[in-house]
Chain A
Amino acid sequence: MMNYRVRGQLVNLFFLSLLAFFFIFPIYWILRSSLLDFGEIMDYPPILFPEAFRWENYAEVLNRVDFLLYIGNTFIIIVPVLIGVGLTSSLAAFGFARIEFPLKNMWFSLVIMTILLPSIVTLVPTYIGWAKLGLTDTFLPLILPAFFGGGAFNIFLLRQFLLTIPRDLDESAVMDGAGFFTIYSRIILPLIRPALVAVLLFTFVGVWNDFLNQLVYLNDQDMYTVALGLSTLRSSLTSPMHLIMAGTMIMVIPATIIFLFGQRYFTEGIATTGIKG
């Protein structure tokens, strides 16, 4: 008879494998569907594994929808957003974690409270504001907010991380007469690097995944992002399913690559926010 603990482990492993299959399968299904041809994808029972990999689907979808331009546009948004978020969220986190000043807790509570506000509540008036400035159909409404705090969640994450770092180093720098900005740039920034990388990865994925804001602010096809391109491809009545799936895969690949390379930062970063909240 099998040992009780070993059996427990096997049952555990069995359920985990089953669940993991459920989580991974849809991604495989996009890949599979993107490699079939027009007729095969409508086959029933469904083809579980493509016989011939039709990579030419990707060339065809790039012919229909200018995904290369849209990838470029998306990066025109992402790069400045990363700079803005990295800069202003770390500045704020440093201020909140390391400097004593009056009303600090009130301001910090205000920052945290904005996490609790669903963005849809302020979307319409914010849009009207940008429209009055004549700046819709530019990338600015999608970029500029990043330079103003860079998201309450990011400030929170960086501050949590900073609180776990002993203050010895910055205190000895104060003794040496260093100013706050020197402490921030020379001591704190290098120390919080892992958390900052996590914030930047979350931000990248956030912009890449965003749909609503891009949909609202960008109407000119030449300004489209990958998400808007995919949405247009899908809603066009002449798009065959296998090409829609190839387009979907184009949107999945960069997010997956970023995740596979930065896995450690993702999981450690997200765990930091959950503990000792």
Chain B
Amino acid sequence: MPAHEQPASYRSHKRRRIWAGYLFILPSILGIIIFTLAPLIYSFYLSFTNWTVLAPKKWIGFANYEKIFTNDYFFYKSLKVTAYYSLGSVVAIVVICFIIAMLLNSAKRAKAFFRAAFYLPTVIPVLAGSICWIWMFNVDFGIINYALSFVGIDKQYWVGAPDSVIPSLILIAVWGAGNVIVIFMAGMQDVPRHLLEAVEIDGGGWWRKLRSVTIPLVSPVIFYNVILAFINSLTAFTQTYVLGRNGGGPNDSALFYSFLIYREAFKYQNMGYACALAMVLFVIVGFFTYLLFKLSSRWVHYEGGGK
């Protein structure tokens, strides 16, 4: 039956459905427009000004961007620090949580207890967790150096020295990544037993099972966790805010990009410059997210072909 001959009740029902659909998602669409798109556009505009809150704002063209790329030591420093932390924490979190999830899934006893134990630090506020770890990392009084002295390891500076601060922060990040373990566990439960048994019958060991069955089948979940850990690593702020007297760790060795933006905007009141920094981060995140998705088609297998 051609569309224009449809009965009136059907057409009005269809119209009502479209209205209803939009009404239901309206708050979230408005939210995206007001709290994401508008700020992005506004930030783009402000990045071409020298606004400092106190002085009137003036259009200065590309001067902010020029300064970022040619004359800002801290920009390059924080880019390096953030890249190091980001890469390190993503790899460490995904690999270690994958291993823990495998151990947990093959455990027969106390599974629920262990899962709770691994998840608990995730709900502990980052501020509280960081304060505690900094205290445990203390060079002279810390429990960690004390424990290591039993196995003959000398005192380490941990978060107190530029060389070791990022690995120490990665350790804290793994501690707080119990949600990744739980997501992996759920994904691994969907791996069909008969496939693993088939490998066993062929005489394959655990490595063969892992490489040929578990990893390919769980690859969408691995990908999801990589993305999650990547975005989380860029959002990390509190752990560097509490490091050192003014934050950012010793000699700005833990100067996360988020902290750099915060410092420019809220300590130095350089709003225009901070917006330019944020726009640069936006482009960088966009590029790497695109790259991750692009590369994912090579190693992520979705069941039944397409996504």
Contacts and interface: CB of A to CB of B under 8 A. Distances in A.
A95 interface: yes
B123 interface: yes
Interface in A234-276: 234, 241, 244-245, 248, 251-252, 255-256, 258-260, 263, 266-267, 270-275
Contacts of B23: 95
A118 B231 contact: yes
Interface in B263-294: 265-266, 271, 274-275, 278-279, 281-282, 285, 289
Interface in B202-257: 220-221, 224-225, 227, 231, 234-235, 237-238, 241-242, 257
Interface string B37-48: 011101100100
Given A101-B18, A267-B115, A16 B104 contact: yes
Interface residues of B, number: 93
A150 B227 CA distance: 21
Given A116-B227, A274-B225, A92 B21 contact: no
A178 B38 CA distance: 37
Nearest to A8: B106
Given A16-B114, A22-B175, A127 B125 contact: no
B178 interface: yes
Given A122-B36, A128-B46, A275-B186, A227 B127 contact: yes
B198 interface: no
B189 to A, nearest CB: 9
B261 interface: yes
B103 A120 contact: no
A270 B121 contact: no
Nearest to A146: B31
A49 interface: no
B183 A271 contact: yes
Contact of B32 (A12, A102, A111, A126): A111
Interface in A169-215: 179-181, 184, 205, 208-209, 211-212, 215
B185 interface: yes
A38 interface: no
Interface in A124-160: 124-129, 145, 147-150, 152, 155
Contacts of B279: 121
Interface stretch (B64-72, B87-95, B138-146, B157-165): B138-146
A240 to B, nearest CB: 12
Contact of B224 (A92, A124, A129, A277): A277
A104 B28 CA distance: 13
Contacts of B43: 121-122, 124-125
Give chain B's interface secondary structure class.
Answer: helix
A113 to B, nearest CB: 9
6 contacts: A19-B100, A96-B25, A121-B279, A124-B265, A256-B123, A277-B220
Given A26-B133, A252-B124, 5 more contacts: A29-B136, A110-B32, A149-B29, A181-B20, A274-B221
Interface of B: 17-18, 20-25, 27-32, 34-36, 38-40, 42-43, 46, 100, 103-104, 106-110, 114-121, 123-129, 131-133, 135-136, 140-143, 146, 175, 178-179, 182-187, 190, 220-221, 224-225, 227, 231, 234-235, 237-238, 241-242, 257-258, 261-262, 265-266, 271, 274-275, 278-279, 281-282, 285, 289
Interface of A: 9, 12-13, 15-16, 19-20, 22-24, 26-27, 29-30, 33, 41-46, 88-89, 91-92, 94-96, 99-102, 104, 107, 110-111, 114-129, 145, 147-150, 152, 155, 179-181, 184, 205, 208-209, 211-212, 215-216, 227, 230-231, 234, 241, 244-245, 248, 251-252, 255-256, 258-260, 263, 266-267, 270-275, 277
